[in-house]
Amino acid sequence: MRESDLIARIARIAGAPPDSLTLKVATGIGDDCAVLRIDGRTLLLTVDMLVEGVHFRLDWTDAHALGWKALAVNLSDIAAMGGKPEVALFSFAAPPHLAETWLPSLVSGLTECARQYGCALVGGDSNRAERVVLDITVLGTVEGAPLLRSGAQPGDWLMVTGALGGSRAGLYALLEANTQGVDLTPHLKPVPRLREGQFARVGGASAMMDLSDGLAADLPKLLQASRVGATVFMSSIPIHPVAHDWAISHGEDPALFAILGGEDYELLFTAPPNIAENLASHISAETGTPVTRIGEITAEPALWLEDETGQRLPWTFQGWDHFG
C-alpha cells in the first residue's frame, strides 16, 4: 500500500471532524497543515516524525544539525500554507546512553532553528526506545485565508523556489561514504521557505505545497487536489549545483536526478499567468531566493514532461514513499 492510499484510508475511517461552538475545522487530513478557525482566527497545525534508520543515521548525522532539521521540516509545512509559526511541541524517544551529551546538542539545534524563525518551544514528552524517534508538532497562524493545494487553475504557471536535488545528492554521498567536496548542507540543514510562502500567498498564488518527498512524488498530489493536470518543462528544472555535479559524475541526467530528489523543502506553487512573472520577481527580490517557472497547469487531468525537443512524455516517475 502506498503512503497516499494509507492517508486516504485513514481519512475515510476518521470521517469529517465535528465542529464545536468555538472551533471549525476548515481543512483536515491531506494538506500540508490542518486549518482550524477559532474565534475569528485561522490556526495551522502540522506534525512530522523523524525515525532513525529511515530519515537519518547516527553515524553520519550531527545531533545539532538533526535538531535543526527536525523543526525545519515542520516549519516548511507552515511555509507551504503561507503562514507564520508560533509554538512547537517536541517529543522524542531515545536509548538512555544518548541522554547526557547527544540529546542536549539535539535540543540546542532545535532551539537555534526555533529562535531564527520566531517559533517558541513550549513543551513535549520523552521516552526510552532502542532507536531515536523525533516527533514535533507546530502551531502557526495565517492572516486571512491559507494557501491550499487545491486552488490551481488551467493556464496557471507552475513555479518552484530555490533549486532541486541537493538533498538527494548529499544523501547519496553519505550512503557511498564519498563526501569529499560534497556540500551536505541541503540534506542535513534544510531552510524552511517561510517568507517566500508568505509573499506567495499575499501576492496571489493559487495553490502551494512544500517538496518534502520530491517533485516526482509531490506534484501529482497538488494536481490531484486541484483536479487539474500539468506539463513540466524539463529544460527549466532548477538543478542544485551539488545535484548537477553528482549526477554527471555518476552518468545520470541532472534534471531527472533533481526531479526524483526528496527532502528539498522548496515550495511548489501556481499563480495566474497575468501575475505570475511579477510575483516570481517580487519573491526573489524580497527574499533573495530564486523562483523558476517549471511548467503550466492544464485542464486535461494528465501529467507530462516536455523534453528539450518539445516532445511530451508521460510522467512515470515514482518518488519517495514511506510505504512504497
What would the pLDDT profile of 304-319 be if each residue is shown by its tens digit? 999 988 899 998 886 5
Q: Which residue has the cell 497538488?
A: 222
Which CA distances in Å does 38 have to 21, 24, 106? Answer: 9, 6, 34
Mean pLDDT (whole number) for 93-120: 93
- How many Å is the Cα radius of gyration of the chain? 19
Domain range summary for the chain, segments of one domain joined by +: 3-141, 149-314
Which pLDDT score, from 0 to 100, does residue 144 have? 85
Strand ranges of the sheet holding 291-298, from the earlier edge strand across to the other edge: 207-210, 267-271, 157-161, 291-298, 229-233, 303-306, 312-314
Which CA distances in Å does 26 have to 14, 29, 37, 52, 187? Answer: 15, 10, 7, 34, 33
Which of the listed CATH numbers 3.40.50.620, 3.30.1330.10, 3.40.47.10, 3.40.50.720 matches domain 3-141? 3.30.1330.10
What would the pLDDT profile of 200-247 be if each residue is shown by its tens digit? 999 999 999 999 999 999 999 999 999 999 999 999 999 999 999 999
Mean pLDDT (whole number) for 28-37: 67
123 has pLDDT over 70:
yes
What SS3 class is residue 121? strand
Q: How confident is the model at residue 36 (pLDDT cuts 50, 70, 90)?
A: confident
21 has pLDDT over 50:
no
Q: How confident is the model at residue 322 (pLDDT cuts 50, 70, 90)?
A: very low
What would the pLDDT profile of 71-84 be if each residue is shown by its tens digit? 999 999 999 999 99
149-314 maps to CATH 3.40.50.2000:
no
What would the pLDDT profile of 231-287 be if each residue is shown by its tens digit? 999 999 999 999 999 999 999 999 999 999 999 999 999 999 999 999 999 999 999
DSSP 8-class letter at 52: B
Candidates 239, 196, 230, 228; CA nearest to 315 is 230
Which is more confident, 25 or 262? Answer: 262
